[in-house]
Amino acid sequence: MNIVLLGPPGAGKGTQATRLAARLKLTHVATGDMLRYEVANGTELGRLAKTYMDRGDLVPDDVIVGMIKARLGDGGLLLDGFPRTVVQAEALDTALDEAGQNLDRAIYLAVDRDELIERLSGRAVCSKCQRSYNLKSAPPAKDMVCDACGGGVVVREDDKPSAIRNRMAVYEKQTAPVLDYYRNGGRLTEMNGMGTPGEVQDRLLAAAGA
């Protein structure tokens, strides 16, 4: 089974994808995490990606598509954060077809815009181990110090106000058309992404046919 999990920035895709992948025994592929790993390790790809990520812009399609193709041999995938453009969606279909696979369904998490901005403005991450926090609802026990490894907790550049606004604009312009791509192909399931994590997970399991 291959599933795409879609939703705007702050919809909770990362949290829900981790849980859903474990329940369905799928490989969780989070393009954002892979890119941030490259940035943290100062690789050539990471340095290139950082110039886009810091502005809240999308990393070029050829970089992302290449990363995904390399993972198609890992068994069933749950893709989180990809595709973000129709070009990427078409490239994914081509790559799956070449691998003798297909996309079973695309699931869209719908969340109110005001809620999205509230969630994003409180996000922070450990600069060392990448553990996520919400400075408003689930901050680290010690101010800006990671509970897990003692590293410094920081607000990512793409979660600062100016970048949040840009990310929303980028999403609406470039990513929302992906919904039409999957909707027109009869592969899109839209669901309410509001509520507790447990409530959203139950809806996701139903949407995935589990």
Task: Give me the numbers of helices (H) and strands (E) for the chain, helices first please.
Answer: 9, 8
Instruction: Please count the CA atoms within 13 angstroms of the CA of 51 that sit on its side-chain side.
Output: 6
Q: Which of 13, 50, 119, 203 is catalytic?
A: 13
Q: Are 81 and 16 in contact (CB under 8 A)?
A: no
Reply yes or no on whether 13 is catalytic. Answer: yes
Reply yes or no on whether 84 is catalytic. Answer: yes
Q: Which of 36, 50, 84, 203 is catalytic?
A: 84
Reply yes or no on whether 113 is catalytic. Answer: no
Q: Which of 50, 119, 167, 203 is catalytic?
A: 167
Reply yes or no on whether 123 is catalytic. Answer: yes
Q: Are 52 and 100 in contact (CB under 8 A)?
A: no
Q: Which of 69, 156, 160, 187 is catalytic?
A: 156
φ, ψ (nearest 5 deg) of residue 130: 70, 15
d(CA 203, CA 195) in angstroms, rounded, equals 10
Q: Are 3 and 28 in contact (CB under 8 A)?
A: no
Q: Which of 36, 50, 119, 123 is catalytic?
A: 123
Decide: helix, strand or coil at residue 108.
Answer: strand
Where would I find the H helices in the chain?
A: 13-24, 31-40, 44-53, 61-69, 86-98, 113-121, 161-170, 176-184, 197-207
Q: Which residues are known to be catalytic?
A: 13, 84, 123, 156, 167
